[in-house]
Structure 1
Amino acid sequence: MRRGRAGEGEWADPDARWLRSVMDGAFLLLLGSSLIRFLTRDHEGTHTGYAVTLFAAFGLLYVLGRLLAPAPRPGARPSARHLAWLGAVSVVWAGLLVLAPSATWCAMPLLFTGLQTLPVRTAVPLAAVLTVLVVATELRLSHEGLNPNVVVAPLAISAVATAVLVHLQRQAARQRVLIEDLVRTRRDLAATERRAGVLAERQRLASEIHDTLAQGLSSQQMLLQAADRTWGTDPDAARRHMRDAAGIASRSLAEARRFVHDLAPADLAERTLAEALRALADRECGDGLTVGFRLDGVPGPVPERVEAALLRIAQGALANVREHAWATRAALTLTWLDDQISLDIADNGRGFDPERPRTPDTGPERGHGLPAMRVRARQLGGTLTVESTRGEGTVVSAAVPLATPAT
């Protein structure tokens, strides 16, 4: 429907129909009263027919213009058709004044129409011309000497109307600029949120791959290398390494399938968090490393997201212990408090300086190790701290509130 589109001028504004009806009604009333006054008081016999014809042409032109040359939408330039109509109806009105001075006040709707739709630099001169014609006509009708109101009243009314409408026009222009800025800002904000969502998803995928597939492949590589070294001297140990590598491959495959379907870690499928951590500790034992598990407090319900994040943090920390710490003992401690749950991963390895950035000389760059753990804890409204001293081991502590914030 044409009336429902934003580009259809007055129809786009819900108040435009009301304003248009008032202006059209005022014009028709003024036109009718002016014609009655002319026929009853001001007509001159020789010009009556011409004047009535101009009255009819004036009214018909006004109505046709409203239908065929509608006003432009706010802020848009008026069309050539609308300008031609406004000029024609003004010329007919000026000619009508010569024969029927009683049509003076029909200028008011024209004044408002011009001020409402034309640019300020065009509307103000038009208002001045209409006002001058009104004053001149009123002076011509005055038969009792100069009446100051005849001059002052039209000027005052025109000045007030012009000032108010110009002010409203400029205020509307400023509001349109603000709305455009708001729409543009919302569009930019939506794009920024989409980019942030993409980056967050990438970070999540990187963390999941690092904590599952990458760690599994790393463990398999270490076991296969150990099997290769001992195959000739200790076939039983080599076979044991091969079986361990096969077991890790099986678990990694299960994790990959659950990862594809965006499910919880496989260890949590049929276990509680404490049971999953105990199973993780048992699996990580071997090759000179002993991992223990300790539970403090009374276990309670924990959101699945918290369970998954803490298990991933434990997996990442133990992977660091096995690959970098040269430790012989490690311990997982899960603690339930009134308002939070914490997990500590401690080892007796060589330690490192947490404040010193990784370099090729100080150790391999893990990329998604500790940073990924911090991201997981932060996403749940928690914290992750690392305490370590060279030669004295490392303690990684994650604390997460039980009432996690929604993300």
Structure 2
Amino acid sequence: METSLDPRPDIEKFGRTRAPDEDALIDGVHILTTILLIATLVSSVNLPFGEAALNLLLGSGFAVLYFYGTALQPGWREGTSLAWLLSLTMLWVLAMLMSPVGIYLVFSLFFLYLRVMDDVRGVVAVVAATAASILTQVPGGLTVGGVMGPAVSAAVVLAIHYAFRTLVRINREREELITQLMDTRLQLAETERAAGVTEERQRLAHEIHDTVAQGLSSIQMLLHSAERDLQRLGLSEEELAGPTRFIDLARTTAKDNLGEARAMIAALQPASLSETSLESALERMAAGFAAAGDLRIEVGVEGAERQLPMKTEAALLRIAQGAVGNVAKHAEASRCRVTVTYEADEVRLDVVDNGRGFDPAAVAEQPAGLGHVGLDAMRRRAAEQGGAVEVESTPGHGTAVSVAIPVPADAGAAATLEPETPTEEGV
């Protein structure tokens, strides 16, 4: 198994990810340590031969152990890292006793303590090293500078470490937020695209129903009337054979084309409503939004449930999707309830949440496209069905969206697109 000797691995000990800016800080500490080591070694010039040789040995040992350790330490176990720090600390104490310049190596140790022990132990180690650097000066006499130097250095390093960690945390939070925003943007784009496709399919289905299907049904009725009037003319069977054959052929062709038109309409209507009830479609929609976030969504039905015209059910489903989507994206709610109420002359949809709420008047005053596009789309869909949308909300007390669409009492009988061709055979 290969062991990486890269001094700047992607993953620090204990699974902490190193930020790119942290590499810059570590490189800066390396440069500082190199300068301090050079100063320590150069100070040997002013020492007796024996002490100079020992000072060179200690400084060289500190340099080798420091740079070797910083290259491999991220992959070490905690015990090995602590033993490495202890060894460096002992070399520093000996170097400090041999040459006063060696005291400045404590700068490097401060950063190492806080890097390896990124908790209260690192702070304790910094305080202990500061105390040691001050105590070693006692035999020669303490001065204000001798005390303030290490103390201020420790305070500066602690402040740098705290500020750097804060910046790294903020940077990571911003990166996560940007990632979430990009993901949300992609989801919204996909949702809007899907909604646009569905709306266009609905429009096409309605157009085919109102033009082609209705026209073919009318043609069949007219052909049936023409055949009936032709039979009342008192013509012989031979005289009626030709016209009747062409009328039957035209009726058959119209019937086949009407069947194809109905198949197209069925394929274009919302998949969630094609084979199930409105309640089931709403429950699947709610399950999808609930799974995407920490939101509990309940769906309920009040009144005698009945089949509604396809246009009405599709409009209610899309309005519910828009309202619940707003709850999931903006309300910061934990619960939401969707209720469909069937009454004698109308059907009502209510979406209520316990979120943060908002000021509907303030939102309405904003320019188009700045926060109320979803509400405008709901109102437009409801208006197309002769209904209206009401929004009640107060900041901090949730939101209630209610839409009421008038439905004739016999709408259930007319919910299908068109009856079969109205001939005496029940075609």
Higher mean displacement: 157-166 or 354-363? 354-363
Contact kept? 2:216, 2:258, Cα under 8 Å: no
2:46 to 26, 29, 41: 41
* Separation (CA, whole Å) in 2 of partners of 1:156 and 1:365: 86
Contact kept? 2:113, 2:122, Cα under 8 Å: yes
Contact kept? 2:85, 2:113, Cα under 8 Å: yes
1:197 equivalent in alignment to 2:193: yes
Contact kept? 2:386, 2:406, Cα under 8 Å: yes
TM-superposed deviation, 1:14: 5.1
1:24 to 26, 30, 33: 30
TM-superposed deviation, 1:111: 1.3
* Separation (CA, whole Å) in 1 of partners of 2:259 and 2:36: 88
Q: Deviations over 1:294-341 (max 9, x none)?
A: xxxxxxxxxxxxxxxxxxxxxxxxxxxxxxxxxxxxxxxxxxxxxxxx
Q: Deviations over 1:111-167 (max 9, x none)?
A: 133335642423211211221122122334x3xx43221112221221132123213
Shift of the 80–357 alpha-carbon distance from structure 1 to 2, 3 Å rule, reads farther
Structure 2 counterpart of 1:350: none
* Separation (CA, whole Å) in 1 of partners of 2:5 and 2:215: 69
2:63 to 55, 59, 65: 59
Q: Deviations over 1:91-114 (max 9, x none)?
A: 432344344443110111221333
Q: Which amino acid aligns with 1:22?
A: G
Q: Which amino acid aligns with 1:30?
A: L
Shift of the 44–362 alpha-carbon distance from structure 1 to 2, 3 Å rule, reads same
Number of corresponding residues: 263
Q: Provide the secondary structure at the position in 1 that maps to 2:410.
A: coil
1:358 to 407, 424, 427: 407
Structure 2 counterpart of 1:105: 104
Q: Which amino acid aligns with 2:67?
A: V
Name the TM-score, length of structure 2 as normaliser: 0.49
Contact kept? 1:30, 1:105, Cα under 8 Å: yes
Higher RCO by CA contacts (8 Å cutoff, separation 6 or greater): 2
Alignment of 1:2-401 (within 5 A): 7-8=10-11, 15-16=21-22, 18-37=24-43, 39-43=44-48, 45=50, 49-70=53-74, 82=81, 84-116=83-115, 118-140=117-139, 142=140, 145-212=141-208, 215-228=211-224, 230-234=226-230, 243=250, 246=253, 354=386, 357-361=406-410
Q: Deviations over 1:152-209 (max 9, x none)?
A: 2221221132123213312432342343234224323422332232222122122223
Q: Which amino acid aligns with 1:124?
A: V
TM-superposed deviation, 1:227: 3.1
Contact kept? 1:139, 1:150, Cα under 8 Å: no
Q: Which amino acid aligns with 1:7?
A: D
* Separation (CA, whole Å) in 2 of partners of 1:119 and 1:209: 64
Shift of the 56–205 alpha-carbon distance from structure 1 to 2, 3 Å rule, reads same
Name the TM-score, length of structure 1 as normaliser: 0.51
Contact kept? 2:55, 2:98, Cα under 8 Å: yes
Higher mean displacement: 208-217 or 235-244? 235-244
* Separation (CA, whole Å) in 2 of partners of 1:221 and 1:242: 15
Shift of the 56–216 alpha-carbon distance from structure 1 to 2, 3 Å rule, reads same
Query: Unpaired segments of 5 or more residues in structure 1?
Result: 73-77, 261-352, 369-407
TM-superposed deviation, 1:85: 3.6
Contact kept? 1:358, 1:365, Cα under 8 Å: no
Q: Deviations over 1:361-391 (max 9, x none)?
A: 36876799xxxxxxxxxxxxxxxxxxxxxxx
* Separation (CA, whole Å) in 1 of partners of 2:119 and 2:113: 9
TM-superposed deviation, 1:60: 0.5
* Separation (CA, whole Å) in 1 of partners of 2:127 and 2:29: 20
Shift of the 51–205 alpha-carbon distance from structure 1 to 2, 3 Å rule, reads same
Q: Provide the secondary structure at the position in 1 that maps to 2:406.
A: coil
Q: Provide the secondary structure at the position in 1 that maps to 2:138.
A: helix
Query: Unpaired segments of 5 or more residues in structure 2?
Result: 232-242, 268-384, 388-404, 418-427
* Separation (CA, whole Å) in 1 of partners of 2:75 and 2:147: 31
Q: Which amino acid aligns with 2:118?
A: P
Shift of the 121–11 alpha-carbon distance from structure 1 to 2, 3 Å rule, reads closer
Shift of the 214–246 alpha-carbon distance from structure 1 to 2, 3 Å rule, reads farther
Q: Provide the secondary structure at the position in 1 that maps to 2:137.
A: helix
RMSD: 4.5
TM-superposed deviation, 1:214: 7.2
TM-superposed deviation, 1:218: 4.0
Q: Deviations over 1:8-33 (max 9, x none)?
A: 56997555554444322221221122
Structure 2 counterpart of 1:299: none
